[in-house]
């Protein structure tokens, strides 16, 4: 199990991100690290991936539970 550096995370949240304490404690460590840029956010959606998802999950073809 990894140990979290809460004092370091608190420093980042309150000084770099200028969060209020309540805002800081409402975040998960992953959200805080992503907001601070220490964990890169997921890649943006590109047209090819959007089209792939559209083919895999077309609109208007809902399954029935019958």
User: Would you write out the chain's pLDDT as a tens digit for each of its 66 residues?
Assistant: 678 788 888 999 999 999 999 999 999 988 998 888 887 666 778 999 899 989 999 988 666 665
pTM: 0.53
- Do residues 14 and 35 make contact, with C-beta atoms less than 8 angstroms apart? no
At residue 47, the pLDDT reads: 92
Give the three-state DSSP class for 37: coil
Judged by DSSP in three states, 57 sits in: coil
| Calpha distance 2→14 (Å, rounded) | 23
Q: Output the pLDDT for position 27.
A: 93
40-60 residues labelled b (16+ CB within 10 A) or e (exposed): eeeeeeeeeeeeeeeeeeeee
| Residue 38, pLDDT score | 81
């Amino acid at each position: 199990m990894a140990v979290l550096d809460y004092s370091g995370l608190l420093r980042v949240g309150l000084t770099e991100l200028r969060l209020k304490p309540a805002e800081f404690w409402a975040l998960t460590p992953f959200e805080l690290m992503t907001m601070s840029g220490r964990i890169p956010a997921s890649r943006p959606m590109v047209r090819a991936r959007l089209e792939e998802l559209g083919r895999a999950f077309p609109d208007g073809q809902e399954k029935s539970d019958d």
